[in-house]
Amino acid sequence: MAKEKGRKLIAQNKKARHDYLIIDTYEAGLVLTGTEVKSLRQGRASLVDGFVQLTDHEAWLHNVHVPEYSQGTWTNHSARRKRKLLLHREEIDKLEAKSQETGHTIVPLALYFKDGRAKVEIALAKGKKEYDKRQTLREKQDRREAERAISAVRRKQRA
């Protein structure tokens, strides 16, 4: 059997990028059961309400929804169980120190397979206020309008 290569995206948390200012990102492995892996291979997961909690110098992923495997038996997993994250000790210590600061949290951004292994991209983030969200949206729209105007001018120059 051929080994998988590259990165296969399973789920993305677009809401996190809207609600939080991303400070730093990390890639972590996941401790999963067999039925969870099979369910993820079918491309089924949701990171919307997910967050990372650090307890006893270990990182745990909470509220990530991995639906039960359809062909699973009584050994099937529970959909919203907490899952251990595999990170280096230095990364955990750094995250622990930074997440103690006011307004900082750790959120999952993406869930994917990398060379056949399940990985999650987590981010140290700071919550945005409502006016920050509006400002970010405005900047994004302005950038898009500027790109459209530039491409329209280039099209006219070619014609």
Cβ(79)–Cβ(70) below 8 Å: no
* Mean pLDDT value across the chain: 85
Rounded-to-integer distance, Cα 106 and Cα 58, Å: 13
Rounded-to-integer distance, Cα 51 and Cα 96, Å: 14
What is the pTM (predicted TM-score) of this model? 0.75
SS3 of 49-76: the string is: CCEEEEECCEEEEECCECCCCCCCCCCC
| Res 77: pLDDT | 63
Say which residue the tokens 């296969």 belong to.
8
| Res 2: pLDDT | 54
**Mean pLDDT confidence for 85-114:** 89
The model's confidence at residue 75, banded by pLDDT at 50, 70 and 90, is low
| Res 5: pLDDT | 78
| Res 151: pLDDT | 92
